[in-house]
Amino acid sequence: AGAANQVLPAGLGAHAVTLRFLQRRGIALPRATASLALYSLVRPVARTLVLLVFLVAFPDVLRLGALLPDDRTLLLAAGAAVLALAAGTGLLVTVPALRRPALGFLRTALTDARELHTRPARVLALWGGAAATPLLQGSVIATVGFSLGLPLSWAQVVLALLVAGTAAGAVPAPGGIGPVDAALVFTMAAFGAPVGTATATVIGYRVLTVWLPLLPGALVLSALLHRKVL
């Protein structure tokens, strides 16, 4: 999934591999799609909660003044969200062929989400895993940065990743590479890191987490396709 995610934008590669795998394991398409939708919804919510926890836990250490958007930017973002919601609603209302599968998917998703949240172990796996992911990613970035002399604390590096992911996550770049990287460099620079060191940190992070695993990931993907696992 990681190898495929570097080819298609907005996580579509990983979702396609996961969906295919779930179907091969006998899970119906509506349920498999609903599980991916729930995972995709929980990730940004958990990331936002972690971001809020960091803002409360480190109010004096973290400097966000240079990162806060102005009123015009906030209005544009809100307008874009409203337009997207209106467009989706309009399609469902005006295109009957989309309405039935969309309603079926929604019913399945709500049923599965309700069932999952009655099981504490699965709640912990879903929400705990979603919250731990940015912390682990931020720790890798911080480790690379410390080896290069990055003058930021672990909390600042993790917050920089959270802010960068929130700001650039909507840009449909393959694997998030590009917009997130630029936003991460900008955020770390706003926290006081030299631009050169911040750039080298992000490059090192991408080499370790994307480019080195890419070849073995592609080989495993090819083998799974050859053996009809996917």
- Say which residue, 117 or 142, is predicted with more confidence: 142
- Given a contact cutoff of 8 angstroms between Cβ atoms, the answer to whether 210 and 177 are in contact is yes
- Given a contact cutoff of 8 angstroms between Cβ atoms, the answer to whether 7 and 216 are in contact is no
Average pLDDT for residues 116-142, to the nearest whole number? 92
Confidence band for 132, pLDDT divided at 50, 70 and 90: very high
Whether 34 has a pLDDT exceeding 90, the answer reads: no
Retrieve residue 192's tokens: 């006081």
Question: CA–CA separation, 33 vs 18, rounded Å?
Answer: 10
Share of the chain above pLDDT 70, in %: 78
The amino acid sitting at 28 is A
- Give the pTM: 0.76
Beta-carbon contacts of 102 under 8 Å, excluding residues fewer than 6 positions away, are 92
CA atoms within 13 A on the CB side of 171: 14
C-alpha 48: how far from its chain's center?
Answer: 11
Strands (DSSP E) found in 30-93: none
Question: CA–CA separation, 63 vs 40, rounded Å?
Answer: 29
208-225 tens-digit pLDDT = 988 888 889 889 988 998
Q: Can you name the residues that pair with 128 across neighbouring β-strands?
A: none
Whole-number pLDDT of residue 158: 92
The dihedrals phi and psi of 9, each to the nearest 5 degrees, come to -80, 165
Number of H helices and E strands in the chain, helices first, is 11, 0
